[in-house]
Structure 1
Amino acid sequence: MDGTDLLAERFEAHRRHLRAVAYRLLGSAGDADDAVQEAWLRASRAGADGVDNLGGWLTTIVARVSLNMLQSRRARREDPADLTPEVGTTAGPEQEAELADSVGVALLVVLETLTPAERLAFVLHDLFALPYEEIGPIVGRTPTAARQLASRARRRVRGATVAPDPVRQREVVAAFLAASRGGDFAALLALLDPEVVLRADAAAVASGATPEVRGAHAVAETFSGRARAARPALVDGLPGAAWLVGGEPRVVFRFTLAADPAGDRIVAVDLIADPEKLTLLSLTFLDELS
C-alpha cells in the first residue's frame, strides 16, 4: 500500500467526523460533502508526512474550506476591529456543554445570524472542542480574537428567540407535503418564506432536478402536484421526507424552518439523492411513530 492509499484509508476513518463539522458549519448536506471532497483533494496533494494529529489536521482543512464557502456564498462583510471584549460569559464547563447539546436541532437556523468567522469559531470550539490556538489561524485572527468571536457568537445563540417547536415544525412539513400532493398552490405559498431556496445535489440534478430554485413562487411551482410518494421523516433530527423504492431511500428532502417561535415558514429545502450521501443520513419515519 503506497502513501496515497494509506492516507485515503485514514481519511475514510475520519470522514464521518469531517462531514459533521462541515455540515454544522455550512448547514447543507450537499455543501458539506463538497467541502469534505475538497478537503481530501487538498490533503492528498499536500501529503500527511510529519503530521502528528491527522484528525486535527483534517478538521482544520475542512474548516478552512467551509469558511471559504461561507464567505463566497453569503458575501458577508466583517469589521476586524469590531471585536468587543468578553462580557457576561460566566458559564462553567458543564453549562457550556449543556449549551452545545441544547442547540442541536435549532443550531443551523440560529447560525445563519452569525458572520462566517463567528460561526466557525463557535462551532469548532463549542461543538467540537477545537482550541482557540488552532481556530485563530483558520479565521486569520489571534487566539484571543478567535475567543472573542466565539464569545460574541455564544451570546447571540443564548439570546436568540426560543427555538421553534419541533411538533409545529413537523406539522408544517406535513402540511407542505399534503399541499404538494394535492396541488394546492396557495397553501404551498403560505408555508414558504418569500426568500426560500430549493437546492438539489448532483445526483438529483442528473435525475432531472434543477440545481437551485429561489423564491416562494418558483419553489411552490416546483412542488405543486408532486411529492405523492414522499414519507414524512426526521432527517438527522430535522423535519423532512423521503421517497423510497423497495424500502430504500432514493431521494431525501431536508427542510429548514424559520428561526422564530412559530417556525411556520420553510426557508430552505435540500434535495439529496446521492447514494453515498443517503447512507450517511439518519432517517426516522414519522408514520412509524404514530
Structure 2
Amino acid sequence: MQPEPGANGTAVTEFILLGLVETPELRPAVFVLFLLAYLVTVGGNFSILAAILVEPKLHKPMYFFLGNLSVLDVGCITVTVPSMLAHLLSHKHTVPYAACLTQLFFFHQLAGVDCFLLTAMAYDRFLAICRPLTYSTRMSQTVQRTLVAVSWACAFSNALTHTVAISTLNFCGPNVINHFYCDLPQLFQLSCSSTQLNELLLFGVGFIMAGTPMALVVTSYAHVAAAVLRIRSSEGRKKAFSTCGSHLTVVCLFYGTGIFNYMRLGSAKLSDKDKAAEIFNTVINPMLNPIIYSLRNPDVQGALRWVLLGRRSLA
C-alpha cells in the first residue's frame, strides 16, 4: 500500500529511523546490550512456557494464560528489537513505507492481546478466590480458549483500524522518525494531512482497548482484596496475596508505560524520554515478566529447575 502524493506532488516511500543513539561510538555497546536483553527475554519466556507444558502442577487456568502471555512477550520484543539491531549494525537506517505499517500493525496486535489477556488473568484470580465453588465450571478449558480467542479478535480489529487509518494520511516530507520503530505518535507528527480524526480514533479506541480492561482489573482486585481480608489465617492471606501480587505488578508496569506513551500526543515534540518509556514497554517489561512470575512461586521455580537443569523438585 503506497501513500498518496502530498501537496507538493511527492510522496514518502520510506522513513528514516534515528534509533536509540546517534553517536556512532555508542552503537556497539547499545547493540550488545539489547542483543543480550533480547536473548534473555526469549530464553526466559520460552523457559516459562516449557515449564508450564511439562509440569502437571501447572496445568491450571492461571498458567494457561501465563503461557500465552509468554508467547506474546516474545512476539512483542521480536517486532521491534531485531530490526533495531540490524539498523545498529548497518549504515542504512531506512524502513520502507509498507514495512513501517506492517510493524505498526503487529505491534498493536500483540500489545492489544496482552491488554485483554491481563484482564482474563485478573478475572481468573477473582473466580479462584471469590467464587471457589464454581471456579472449575466458570473457568473451564472452553472458557479459557474462548477468552484467548476473543482477545486476539479484538486486538486484530484494533490493529487493523489504526493501520488503515494511518494509511489514509499523506506523508510528503520530512520522513525522519526520532525513534527506533514505527508507531502512531511519531507518524502523526510527520503527516502533512490533518491527524485530528486519527488522534480522536486513538483516544476513542484506546478507551475501549485499555480503559475498559483496566476498569475490569481494578474491579476484580477490589473484590479479591475484600475477600482476602476476610480470611482469618495469616498464612492463607499471605498465600492469596502472593498469587495476585505478581500479576498486579505486571499490570501496573504494562498500563503505566502504555498510558505515558499514548497520552502525550499533544506535545509539540516527542523527546528522548519517550524513547526511554518505549524501551521499558517493549524490552524491559517482556524481560521482567518471567522473573516476576517465578520469583515467589515455588511450583514455577521447581518446573524451571526441571526444564533448565533436568532435575525435578522433590516438593
Q: Considering the TM-score relative to the shorter chain, is it more than 0.5?
A: no
TM-score using structure 1 length: 0.26
Higher relative contact order (CA 8 A, sep 6+): 2
TM-score using structure 2 length: 0.25
- Which protein is richer in strand relative to its size? 1
Q: Rg: which structure is higher?
A: 2
